[in-house]
Amino acid sequence: EAGVAQSPRYKIIEKRQSVAFWCNPISGHATLYWYQQILGQGPKLLIQFQNNGVVDDSQLPKDRFSAERLKGVDSTLKIQPAKLEDSAVYLCASSRTRSYNEQFFGPGTRLTVL
Amino acid sequence: KQEVTQIPAALSVPEGENLVLNCSFTDSAIYNLQWFRQDPGKGLTSLLLIQSSQREQTSGRLNASLDKSSGRSTLYIAASQPGDSATYLCAPRRAGGTSYGKLTFGQGTILTVHP
């Protein structure tokens, strides 16, 4: 079974530019998550999808971050415009359900904002 | 709001020792708790998932215990090896409310096992 795929693996941009990250979850996993991990900290949930609907985006900075999950499969996370403090690793995870099943993580995208 | 604390923050041990990593959490309304390892520059690898109704879960040299009512979980690593060197993260999974299913992470324990 293929794991969670993410691209790109690394991205360097200047502040005020825009950037997009892509995630393909494990086949059959209804729930998809985006986490932000700042250096030296544990991951923090940004947004949670159930199929193609948002079920929790309470920690997403909506003035600059947006995310979508078209057709309930792939997902894209966008930042526009980026700030210096957005430098972090962006992790995508998926699970079969929202409750009892393991969450599996992708390799992450390391974003550096200059 | 769930708060997760991991102790110790860092641990350096010689190869062969048995280890105990501690995780405490403030909200006991959870479905389960996952333990992960993270190697430098990599994503998270799931080690163990322990459901709220379970007391223990084992995989190879790893054993995790969970005491939901007191908000504690412990990860035991037997006969540690240099390949176990990584950051270990625990994450309880929220039950109930609009954000149920969410994992909340501690800051992790950085483990170094030297030959």
* Mean pLDDT computed over every residue of chain A: 95
**How does residue B101 score in pLDDT terms, banded at 50, 70 and 90?**
confident
**How does residue A1 score in pLDDT terms, banded at 50, 70 and 90?**
low
- State yes or no: pLDDT of B2 exceeds 70: yes
B43 → chain A, closest CA residue: A107
Q: Average of pLDDT values for A47-71?
A: 93
Helix (H) or strand (E) holding B48: strand B44-51
Q: What is the pLDDT of residues A63-97, one digit of tens each?
A: 999 999 988 899 999 999 999 999 999 999 999 98
- Chain B residues whose C-beta is within 8 A of a chain A C-beta are 4, 31-32, 34, 36, 41-46, 49, 51, 89, 91, 93, 95, 98-108
Q: Average of pLDDT values for B98-107?
A: 89
Question: Shortest CB distance from A56 goes to which of B31, B89, B99?
Answer: B99
User: What three-state secondary structure class fits B43?
Assistant: coil
Model pLDDT, residue B92: 96
Chain A residues inside the 8 Å CB shell of B91: 42
Distance CA A25, CA A38 (A): 22
